[in-house]
Amino acid sequence: MTATIDIDLAKKVLAAQPFAELVGTEIAEFGDGTVTLVIPIRPELGQQFGFVHGGVLSYAADNALTFAAGTALGPNVLTGGFTITYLRPAAGQRLRAVATVTGATRRQAVVRCEIYAEDADTEPVLCAVAQGTTRSVERDLTADNACNNAPRTAQFGVFVSSALVTKGRAVTDFVTSADGTRIAFDRLGHGAPVIVVSGMFCARPMTHDLATRLAERFTVLNYDRRGRGASGDTAPYAPDREVEDLAALVDELGGKAAVYGHSSGAGLALRAAAAGVPITRLVLHEPPYGDDSDESKRSARELAEQVGAAIEQHRPAEAIRIFLTAAGAPPDAAQFAGQDPAMQAVAPTMPYDLAIMGNADTGGVIPLDLVAAVEIPVLVLLGDASPEFFHHTATRLTELLPAAQLSVLAGQDHSAPAEVVAPPVISFLS
């Protein structure tokens, strides 16, 4: 159930943002999917020609987008990404940023923002237009001591970067992979080393909640796979390059680590373990391998071909729609997701995930040669509400891996929240 948020609480949250106080941001309107922020124009906010600096406009858009999304998604929201177009120079007495939710699901919202420069003697001038995507998260994201007068369950995680400030204090750093590619990661917590590997469409913000929970017991590296977030990407791509990335992260942790992988990230983790990367324990959370039927293998190969062609033709929205439709999403939902700027930003890496799962090479079946090479303890995680093929794959992997155990998450599907996933993972890794 979405928490109730009113303008008084929103103003308390805004007051807890030092940068908002610095530029003098105020909330003029709040509610029903729309938010208006006002910023007085002062000389300190200008650039060399006397107009408002573009960074201030970008800040106004970012904050307005996130506050607007909070009216639809609830208190804990993060900006997934946004684009901004500057139309005219901004000058006058104040900026007015008006953000409106244009579409929302249970977990994400698309928001449009218009930024006007206003003066007492003239009509408002539209200076910039932005559109972005925000996502709700399960965990309270408020920085220490923010909004002391507001309940912790009703606070926005507003204007938080991918290196979130939370318990354990993530520290963003880089390793250099074997081919020279820089891989960005956050280091959290203290204890035995663990690496979190995300699946398709995901970067560090999407796995931060789980990483933070694991960091209560372990030293956790939560990283951007190559081509995503702050990590680099060096052509040509091959799954072995991502295995090398993971090996570099293991080396960063002292030469050995446990690994948790979700979805295609589990497929990558399995490849790394089979290749001899010094992984101590392995968690495979619903790797999406298909069955051995001719129909399944044909569909997997066609999906890899169609997605690859769309990406090669610079049609990321179409690639997203094709994949999600094949995964069983309703057509409207797949079309809507394809318009998500954050998903479009990582869409060029979709062929990477399909290559890791062997869609084109093997038809996406369980790689028996890789499985045979893995002798370390393995936990296979399965949501009992996930599609049937996940059940088949999890059961088969548990049978094939010599030191595997199966844990079923009651009532959960492929997107099980961190609060449910963390306990069995912590128990297994301990």
Of the candidates 228, 279, 234, 287, the residue with the CA atom closest to the CA atom of residue 256: 279
Burial of residue 391 (CB within 10 Å: 0-12, 13-18, 19+) is: middle
Tell me what pLDDT residue 4 has.
Answer: 56
Across-strand partners of 99? Answer: 35, 113
Choose the most confident range, by mean pLDDT, from 56-70, 95-109, 300-314. 300-314
What is the average pLDDT across 293-298? Answer: 96
Per-residue confidence (pLDDT) for residue 304, from 0 to 100 = 98
Q: Quote the tokens at residue 314.
A: 């610079």
87 pLDDT more than 70? yes
pLDDT digit string (tens) for 354-368? 999 999 999 999 999
Select the CATH number that applies to the domain covering 7-139 from these four: 3.10.129.10, 3.30.460.80, 1.20.1250.20, 3.40.718.10: 3.10.129.10
Please check whether residue 364 is in contact with residue 357, taking contact to mean a CB–CB distance below 8 angstroms.
Answer: yes
CA distance 29 to 104: 20
Nearest to 281 by CA among 430, 82, 98: 430
Which of the 8 DSSP states describes residue 57?
A: H
Q: What is the Cα Rg of the chain in Å?
A: 23
Q: Which of 171, 144, 167, 170 is nearest to 155 (CA)?
A: 144
Judge if the upstream peptide bond of residue 236 is cis by omega within 30 degrees of 0: yes
Closest CA to 157 of 66, 286, 25, 48: 66
Q: How far is CA 371 from the centre of its chain?
A: 28
Evaluate if residue 182 carries a pLDDT over 60: yes
What number is the average pLDDT over the span 314-329?
A: 94
pLDDT at 117 over 90: yes
197-245 pLDDT tens trace: 999 999 888 899 999 999 999 999 999 999 998 899 999 999 999 999 9
372-428 pLDDT per residue, tens: 999 999 999 999 999 999 999 999 999 999 999 999 999 999 999 999 999 999 999
Contact 369, 281 (CB under 8 A): no
* Average pLDDT over every residue of 268-272: 98
CA–CA gap between residue 111 and residue 342 (Å, rounded): 12
Is pLDDT at 92 greater than 70 in this prediction? yes
pLDDT of amino acid 170: 56
- From 331, 340, 328, 321, select the one nearest 103 (Cα to Cα): 340
- Quote the pLDDT of residue 156: 35
How many degrees, rounded to 5, is the angle at CA 316 between CA 310 and CA 321? 85
Nearest by Cα to 35 from 54, 2, 9: 9
**Are the beta carbons of 47 and 126 closer than 8 angstroms?**
no
What are the strands of the beta sheet with 279-285, ordered from one edge? 171-176, 182-188, 218-223, 192-197, 257-262, 279-285, 378-383, 404-409
Specify the range with the lowest mean pLDDT, choosing from 31-45, 105-119, 148-162, 298-312.
Answer: 148-162
176 to 182, 234, 283: CA distances (angstroms): 5, 12, 25
N-to-C CA span, the chain: 34
The helix (H) or strand (E) run that includes residue 111 is strand 108-119
The residues spanned by each domain of the chain are: 7-139, 172-289+366-429, 294-357
Q: Is 24 exposed, middle or buried (0-12, 13-18, 19+ CB in 10 A)?
A: middle
Confidence category of residue 104, pLDDT binned at 50, 70, 90: confident
Secondary structure class of 315 (helix, strand, coil): coil
| Candidate CATH numbers 1.20.1260.10, 3.40.50.2300, 2.60.120.920, 3.40.50.1820; the one for domain 172-289+366-429 | 3.40.50.1820
Tokens 């709700």 identify what position?
136
User: Which burial class, exposed, middle or buried, applies to 58 when counting CB atoms under 10 A from its CB (0-12, 13-18, 19+)?
Assistant: middle
Q: How far is CA 113 from the centre of its chain?
A: 22
CB 213 within 8 A of CB 138: no
Is residue 148 over pLDDT 60?
no
